[in-house]
Amino acid sequence: MTLLRVRNLAVTYPTSEAMVRAVDGIDLDVHAGEVVGLAGESGCGKSTLALAVARLLPRGAVMSADEMSLGGTDLRTVADEELRSLRWRRLSLVFQGAMSSFNPVMRIGDQIAEAIRTHEPDSYRRDVADRVGELLNQVGIAPARSEDFPHQMSGGMKQRAMIAMALACRPELVIADEPTTALDVMTQAQILDLIRRLADELGLAMLIISHDLTVLAELCDRVAVMYAGRIVEIGEADEIFGAAGPAHPYARRLLDCYPRLEAGQGSISGIAGSPPDLARPPSGCRFHDRCDQVIPRCNADDPTLHLVPGSAGHLAACHLVCAAQAVGR
């Protein structure tokens, strides 16, 4: 059952010089109980996508989509009050940098309780307090720490508290934006374990956003790779991280950026060049100026997502991969 359906989502930011299309025509599905990953470099629009879905874009941003629905609700046109009601109850977020995502003058427990009480205003204090304790326990924090202020918790602990808070109203979908960035490697591993465990236990649908493909490899059922506001590859995690590796040249280079234990003494490479200026996107394929396998057609023709030959559901937007395929979506 498809929980989140997004079709042709575009987000534009007006800047002082021009309009920047941070998200340029994205299609994305998240099914119930599924963990989907969204990968890409900084600035490719992944966070914008998350904010757009949650209707949390900053003032001035312009959003358009052919479809954007959560369950039966059309997120584009939903009224303010209903939007507020479905927030956190059906869709919650875990933000990157939990360091500053908590109100510094309110106790952690109170902030979690606030979420619960907003959506269940008739609950008893005692019940809410118990719930908060349970939630903290679930993520491995002693319930007594609910009296703490954010500055009294370590980074990893705050991230876990954020996760606990995100689960407070038992949402259908959780969007996690860079949940492990800004944490040290040890803590990262702990958080990843936690997320995986919770997703399994609670049957959560999750959309996990990260620039770190290794994180997504561990957690996700399906992975999408974004570049310059577009999804350039999407498919089952097994296929993308499998033996053959990703189909799209950018995704391959992205994966090469992270060392793999089995690969022996390989060298880590970066990707030369930088992402295109989204105010003035280049003609043809947006990656063509940095691609090491570019062919003449890439300069002129902007490739769309096509089925990778020999797969069932693995799509990539590259002329090389899907040269003659004319199969639509």
Partner 1 sequence: MTGPVINSSLDTQPVNGHGAGGWRGALRQLASDRMGRIGLVIVATVVLVAVAGPLLVPYDRTAVAASRTGILQSPSAAHWLGTDELGRDILRQLLAGTSVSLEIGLIATLITVLIGTAVGVLAGWFTGFVDAVLMRITDFFLVLPSLPLMIALGAIIGQSLTMIVFVIALTSWPSTARIVRSQALAVREREVVARAKTVGLSSAGILWRLILPGVMALVTANAVLVIAGSILAEATLSFLGLGDPTRTSWGQMLHNAFVTGAVGNGYWWYFLPPGIGIVIVVLAFSLVGQSLERILDPRLAAAA
Partner 2 sequence: MVGYVGRKLGYLVVTIAAVLATNFTLFHLMPGDPVTHIARGQHLDAEAVARLRSFYGLDMPLPSQFITYVQNLFHGDFGWSYTYQTSVGPIVAKALGNTLILVTISTLLVIVLGVVIGVFAASRRGTRTDGGLVIGSLVFWSLPTFWVGMLLIFVFAVSLGWLPIAGMFTADAVYPTVFTKIADLARHLILPTVAMVLVDIAQFVLISRSSLLAVLSEDYMTTARAKGLTPRRVLWRHGVRNALLPVVTATSLYASATVGGTIQVETVFSWPGMGQLIYLSVVRRDYPVMEACFLIFAIVVVLANFASDVLYRLLDPRVRLT
Interface residue list for partner 2 (CB under 8 A): 54, 56, 83-89, 92-93, 95, 97, 100-106, 114-115, 118-119, 149, 151-152
For residues 46-64, b (16+ Cβ closer than 10 Å) or e, as one string? Answer: bbbbbbbbbbebeeebebe
Among residues 7, 29, 31, 43, the one that binds partner 1 under rule CB under 8 A: 43
Choose among partner 1, partner 2, none what residue 181 binds, the Cβ cut-off being 5 to 8 Å by kind.
partner 1
Q: What crossing angle do the helices spanning 155-166 and 185-202 adopt, rounded to 10°?
A: 10
Choose among partner 1, partner 2, none what residue 41 binds, the Cβ cut-off being 5 to 8 Å by kind.
partner 1
* 8 Å CB contact between 99 and 155: yes
Contacts 24+ apart (CB under 8 A), 129-132: 131/168, 132/168
Query: Maximum Cα–Cα distance for the chain, whole Å?
Result: 68
Per rule CB under 8 A, is residue 302 in the interface with partner 1?
no
Per rule CB under 8 A, is residue 188 in the interface with partner 1?
no
Per rule CB under 8 A, is residue 96 in the interface with partner 1?
yes
Q: How far is the CB of 230 from partner 1 (least distance, A)?
A: 16
Choose among partner 2, partner 1, none what residue 152 binds, the Cβ cut-off being 5 to 8 Å by kind.
partner 2
Cα separation, 6 vs 49, whole angstroms: 10
Q: How many residues bind partner 1 (CB under 8 A)?
A: 15
Q: How far is the CB of 40 from partner 1 (least distance, A)?
A: 7
Choose among partner 1, partner 2, none what residue 182 binds, the Cβ cut-off being 5 to 8 Å by kind.
partner 1
Cα separation, 97 vs 309, whole angstroms: 39
Q: What is 110-157 written as a DSSP string? A: HHHHHHHHHH-TT--HHHHHHHHHHHHHHTT--GGGGG--GGGS-HHH
Q: Which is nearer to partner 1, 233 or 239 (CB)?
A: 233
Q: Which helix (H) or strand (E) holds 94?
A: strand 91-94
Choose among partner 2, partner 1, none what residue 114 binds, the Cβ cut-off being 5 to 8 Å by kind.
partner 2
Q: How far is the CB of 96 from partner 1 (least distance, A)?
A: 7
Cα separation, 329 vs 317, whole angstroms: 12
Cα separation, 297 vs 300, whole angstroms: 6
Among residues 37, 40, 276, 303, the one that binds partner 1 under rule CB under 8 A: 40
Q: Which residues are near partner 1 by CB under 8 A?
A: 40-44, 46-48, 51, 58, 96, 178, 181-182, 211
